Amino acid sequence: MPEDRDYGDNPFIYDDPVSPRELIDRQDETDHLVALAAGSHNSRVQAPRRYGKTSLLLKVADDLEKQGWRMVYVDFLLATTAEEVARRLEVAYRKSLTGPLSQTLTRLKRSWHPKVKVAPGGVGGSAEYASTPDVMQRLDDLLDLPLQLQKKSGERTLVIFDEFQDFLRAAGDLEGLLRSKIQHHGDAASYIYSGSEQALLEEAFGNRRRSLYDQARPLYLAPLADQDIADYIEDRFEKTGKFVEGATLDFLLELVRGHPQRSMLVAHHLWEQTQPGQTATVETFDRALTVIDRELNERFEYTWHSLAEKPNLRDVLLALALDQGTLFSKQTLDRYHLSKGRAQSGEDGLTRLGEVQRVNNKPIIIDPLLERWLLRRSGLLLPERGEQG
């Protein structure tokens, strides 16, 4: 669990999950997920990358642990083989189980390595060796652990499967095995699935032909409210002996558009550019933007070059940045040499990559700082805030 921040340091964390007490709002989402788990319902949290999913999940886990639940957090990022999925599960349970319950896992592991006796030819003695456990048997046993834990301790278990899209990609019918286990767990465990590749999760849980069809109630994270972000930033500035002008804060909110991680990144650099006891002005904001542009330039260059063989996606990305909200207008289609079909396929491709989502039925670029980079790259960005008369 992330620790609370020492306010002698920069109070704006943007590169790691934050502790439950540092989470900006999300109280309604937390209460909803806690209620679903308490009612023996499974859920899934879907949102773009860097939208605070893991921080929210840790808050839910913290609330349920206070109610006597056990929490098992499994990160499946890059776990694309059955062997690696099994290893991640084992590591997660090893971290969670303490005291007598830890022996449950120890005994389970012993059962995977039975001793086999052989009599070497020409020799009167015998030798013993441990056979290699079958990976599917290991997975079968690990996925059933919540039942054993409830029998021994009476505790319910919250199992969080983060970066679940990589589990879905793993070789073998792991979905079928998982479904065969969780459907019998009843009051023993509730599951929360989370992932940033929303199209893949929608397919897994929304396709009638998939094993996990309708097995988890969806929760879609919306952008944070401007007022919640503003209150959080002002409070952290004041607690560290710094201040921020209202106009500066308005410019920040306009830029980040409620994006959780980008809000903290911009606030982090604004705080860094503000001297102790001083107030962040629009000029301070411009200095912070200069640092941010340098920090993110290489990453965005990589994103752009990764689309080199997909000019359709590049055209749509530019159209969304430069002609916001008008992708399918005749003027925008003509300007970027797009047909409606190419525009739609480009939007679909960028959505699968996690770069675009629909808000109020209009496609938008998820990352406001990527949009800013595209505007700067095209020479269409307005002068910095402090330079405007």
Do the beta carbons of residue 174 and residue 139 sit within 8 Å?
yes
- Domain extents for the chain? 26-110+136-220, 227-387
Give 292 or 354, the one with higher predicted confidence: 292
pLDDT computed for residue 191 by the predictor: 97
Query: What stretches of the chain show up as alpha helix (H) in DSSP?
Result: 27-38, 53-65, 82-96, 102-111, 135-143, 145-153, 164-169, 174-182, 198-206, 226-239, 246-256, 260-272, 282-306, 311-322, 330-335, 340-352, 368-377
Residues counted in the chain: 389
CA distance 17 to 141: 30
Instruction: Give me the CATH code for the 26-110+136-220 domain, please.
Output: 3.40.50.300
pLDDT of 388 strictly over 80: no
Which of 6-15, 82-91, 182-191 shows the lowest mean pLDDT across its residues? 6-15
pLDDT computed for residue 386 by the predictor: 44
Per-residue pLDDT band at 125 (split at 50, 70, 90): low
Q: CB-side exposure of 293: number of CA atoms within 13 Å?
A: 15
Q: Please compute the mean of the pLDDT values over residues 111-126 and round it to a whole number.
A: 59
SS3 271: helix
Q: pLDDT digits over 33-61, tens only?
A: 999 999 999 999 999 888 999 999 999 99
Q: What are the φ and ψ backbone dihedral angles of 363, each rounded to 5 degrees? A: -75, 135
Q: Please compute the mean of the pLDDT values over residues 271-275 and round it to a whole number.
A: 97
Do the beta carbons of residue 185 and residue 146 sit within 8 Å?
yes
Q: What is the mean pLDDT of the chain?
A: 89
Q: Is the pTM of this model over 0.95?
A: no
SS3 374: helix
pLDDT of 173 strictly over 90: no
CA distance 171 to 247: 53
**How is 62-115 classified by DSSP, letter by letter?**
HHHHTTT-EEEEEE-TT--SHHHHHHHHHHHHHHH--GGGHHHHHHHHHHTS-E
- Residues 6+ positions from 4 with CB-CB distance below 8 Å: 19, 21, 22
108: tokens are 């389970």
**pLDDT above 70: percentage of residues in the chain:** 90
CA distance 23 to 223: 14
